[in-house]
Amino acid sequence: MLSGWFLQNSRHPLLDNQGLKDTKRGRHRRGSHAVSVTYRYRAIYVTDGPTNVWYWIGSHEDYNSFVGSTRKRPLMPRHNFFVLVAIAVVSVVCFRQADSAHRTEYGEMFDTFTEVLNKVDKHYLRKVDNRLLFEGALQGMMAKLDPYSAYIDPDHLKEFKASLEQKFGGIGIEVARDPQTNRLTITSPMADSPAYKQGIRAGDTIVKIDGKNAEAISMQEIVGRLRGKEGETVRLTVLHKGDTEPVEIAIQRAVIPVPAVLGDVRDADNHWNFFLAGHEGIGYVRVTNFGENTEKELKAALAWLAERHVQGLILDLRNNQGGLLDEATKTCDLFLEHGRIVSTRGREGVETKTWDASGGAPYAQLPMVVLVNQFTASASEIVAACLQDHHRAIIVGQRTWGKGTVQNVIPLEHGRSLLKLTTASYWRPNGQDIHRYPDDKDQEDWGVQPDSGYEMKLSDAELATVMQHRRQRDVIAEREPTPEDPDAADKAPADVDPQLQKALEALQSLLPK
């Protein structure tokens, strides 16, 4: 095996060493070419006429072997050279023709768009930021496609990524405007967050943020001021619930993980209890979205339940608006031993990709029910549809949203912005399209319907009651009874939530008598 190589028209540094002397000179014929060879140290200086200079870097023996092996064989047959040239010429011609056709198709529109920009820039009443016009044009273009395609500008890029990564830099509180007083009220701190460690609790009021009156700024600005880089400090003027004078608290921001998998109620250490209160052996797991850590969190919750001899599971996907497809398919893989999970189809209904169960399914024998409602969408619909089509779970609640399209995230401007573009649709294992298109009627197949006998619709008033009760149970605070209902937060969820009660009935039908 040869241990050398040629360098063309580039002098090797070894040959510039004036202290080295020629040790051997000679002439060889290589194919039809006569070459002059000079050996120096471990470099061989080879000339092939006045223009081509080659340097062989290696041993003399290897060079001699190389020359011997290629003797009577030209560097490249002339025929091959002409073939390569022909291919290159044809490629250039084809590229230019394609580019010309592309320009012909869009050229007039590009010219008009540029003309409009120029007119606005020169004649509009006030000076307008060209970047603002550019982003508005892209957003308008995407809005013409469907509700889910979008242009994500640089200002909203961090927020978009945080929603998928399930983490952001902040202090870990949930806030809302009091509709009567307009005060910024803390609805709940997050467990073990910087705010919680500083004594902030639900019901406290934020008076100022870094010295600025919280009532005088928008919610978007409030979120921007509370969030920020890890390690930076934000100063809040807070009026604790029951106090008369506010206090100033300096809180250092940290990376705040946002859990996607929740239980029914927290224990004394603020950890989730994944059993349904008042129902021994019944697991209750809420999945709020499918982010990067959802499968990991779900596996931890199921392991917690398995250690405590869970008998059956209610998987609550209500109000889950979706997320990452891979996390949804991994969720199905925990419960399904074999078979199709989901497939995608592009233009003209051509199947583009399929996902099947891997065969692991550690919880394939666990009796389960899936709760859905009209706000269950996208990735959560994939999970519900898969488990329903394989008769792996009973579906309870209301018909789902019907959002069954795939959005690819395409980086723009070297990653400073993104294009979220619909490229395919989700299809259930039974071969039905999940997506509801604008002209689809209620009687047509879309979304996920509850199983026969397990549909349970809620009125607006019932839904408001259920959500209020859930918020009370989720709050991290020293709970105090409300005057209207002294033990509202302590009521068993199934006593307040008709859909959850229906899910209990369905699950009990699956359990051994």
- Phi/psi of residue 255, each to 5°? -75, 120
Q: Which residue has the tokens 């308008």?
A: 140
Vertex 205 angle, CA 202 and 208, to 5°: 140
Q: What is the DSSP string of 43-69?
A: EEEEEETTTEEEEEES-HHHHHHHHHH
Q: Residue 125: helix, strand or coil by DSSP?
A: coil
Residue among 403, 417, 474, 497 flagged as catalytic: 403
Spatial distance between the Cα atoms of 457 and 488, rounded to a whole number of angstroms:
22
Contact between 223 and 173 under an 8 Å Cβ cutoff? The reply is no
Q: Residue 72 catalytic?
A: no
Q: Residue 389 catalytic?
A: yes
Residue among 149, 343, 378, 417 flagged as catalytic: 378
Going 292 to 293 to 299 to 302, the CA torsion angle's sign is negative
Spatial distance between the Cα atoms of 85 and 347, rounded to a whole number of angstroms:
38
With left for phi above 0 and alpha for psi between -120 and 50, is residue 354 left, alpha or beta?
beta
Spatial distance between the Cα atoms of 486 and 496, rounded to a whole number of angstroms:
15
Helix (H), strand (E) at residue 178: none
Residue among 389, 433, 474, 497 flagged as catalytic: 389
Write out the two tokens for 55.
Answer: 């340097």
Q: Residue 343 catalytic?
A: no
Q: b/e for 23-60, b at 16 or more Cβ within 10 A? A: eeeeeeebeeeebebebbeebbbbeeeeeeebbbbbee
Q: What residues are labeled active site?
A: 378, 389, 403
